[in-house]
Amino acid sequence: MRVFDTPSALMREAANLVVESAANSIAARGRFTWTLAGGSTPRSLYALLARPPHVDRISWDSVHFFWGDERCVPPDHAQSNFRMARESLLDTVQPAADHVHRMPGEAEPAAGAEAHERHLRRFFSANGSDPGVPPRMDLVLLGLGPDGHTASLFPGATALRETERWVIATHVDQAVSWRLSLTLPVLNRARHVAFLVVGTEKAGAVRAVLSGRADGDVLPAGRVAPEDGEVSWFLDAAAAAEIGESR
């Protein structure tokens, strides 16, 4: 866990993590499979990676972009996680189309989830992975909601009990919308998961996830525990305020 005085200090360190993870993955396997987080927090990280010095420190041609979740809206919609990443990073680094594995938010939710799962199974089996086993993403970035949700896995959702599917469609009452999300079987196969959490409104969720809730229930973000991978928490001081962590 790393606690930073300011969000910008957090994002600088997170950018270094992406650079390092990309270099290690490309050196080891010839590519970097990177699952991007949605929401608003990571926008400043993606923008930082799109300009010097970081933009010159990643071999973008070897990067494959995935998403942890997507709102069921068209890719040019203001709520689209893809649009946020396109505006802040992809328009600058201009990856090849077959390196951008966008979740089809424009599709009917259940059909979109099935189509994306087929795409992931095709992509990873064509690249030597066992199609029967969830893919090992090199780096998964995740955010945290005030209720302890991550990606689009919300407290109490049946999606949390999914053990076979890699991608599900889920209706989010709290946000009154349908979403597509990677499931825990995929998230928990990652080589490295990094949570990026900023702001006072997340402090309660950070405490509940990292210290365990009084009622013993494990919040969705607390269920992300790769069996053979690393989990990093990047917190600003405001988000860490209730765990009293020393810097």
Is residue 81 part of the contact set for ligand 6PG (CB under 6 A)? yes
Tokens of 154: 């919300």
How far apart (Å, rounded) are the C-alpha atoms in residues 165 and 70? 16
Stretch that binds ligand 6PG, among 103-111, 137-145, 158-166, 208-216 (CB under 6 A): 137-145
| Residue 41 beta carbon to ligand 6PG: minimum distance, rounded to whole angstroms | 3
Shortest spacing between CB 39 and ligand 6PG, in angstroms: 3
Residue 191: C-alpha distances to residues 35, 135, 179, 225 (Å): 11, 10, 25, 11
The bridge status of strand 2-4 relative to strand 230-236 is parallel
Is 180 within 8 Å of 152 (Cβ atoms)?
Answer: yes
Report in angstroms how near the CB of residue 87 gets to ligand 6PG at its nearest: 15
What mask of x and - would describe binding to ligand 6PG in positions 27 to 56, judged by CB under 6 A?
----------xxxxx---------------
Site for ligand 6PG (CB under 6 A): how many residues?
A: 15
For the window 59-78, what string marks contact with ligand 6PG as x by the rule CB under 6 A? ---------xx---------
Going by their DSSP bridges, the two strands 63-67 and 32-36 should be labelled as parallel
Nearer to ligand 6PG, 120 or 153 (CB): 153
- Smallest CA-to-CA distance from 150 within 182, 109, 176 is with 182
Is 150 among the residues that bind ligand 6PG (CB under 6 A)?
A: yes
- Interface with ligand 6PG, residue 172, by CB under 6 A: no
Specify the residue, 3 or 239, whose C-beta has the smaller distance to ligand 6PG: 239
Looking at this protein, which amino acid is placed at residue 36?
L
* Nearest residue to 74 (alpha-carbon basis) of 178, 161, 163, 4: 178
Among the listed residues 112, 145, 226, 229, the single contact to ligand 6PG using CB under 6 A: 145
Shorter beta-carbon distance to ligand 6PG: residue 70 or 117: 70
Detail the DSSP E strand segments found in the chain: 2-4, 32-36, 63-67, 69-71, 139-142, 167-172, 177-182, 192-197, 230-236
In the region spanning residues 152 to 171, those forming contacts with ligand 6PG, defined by CB under 6 A, are: 152
Q: Which residue ranges make up the site for ligand 6PG (CB under 6 A)?
A: 37-41, 68-69, 81, 143-145, 149-152
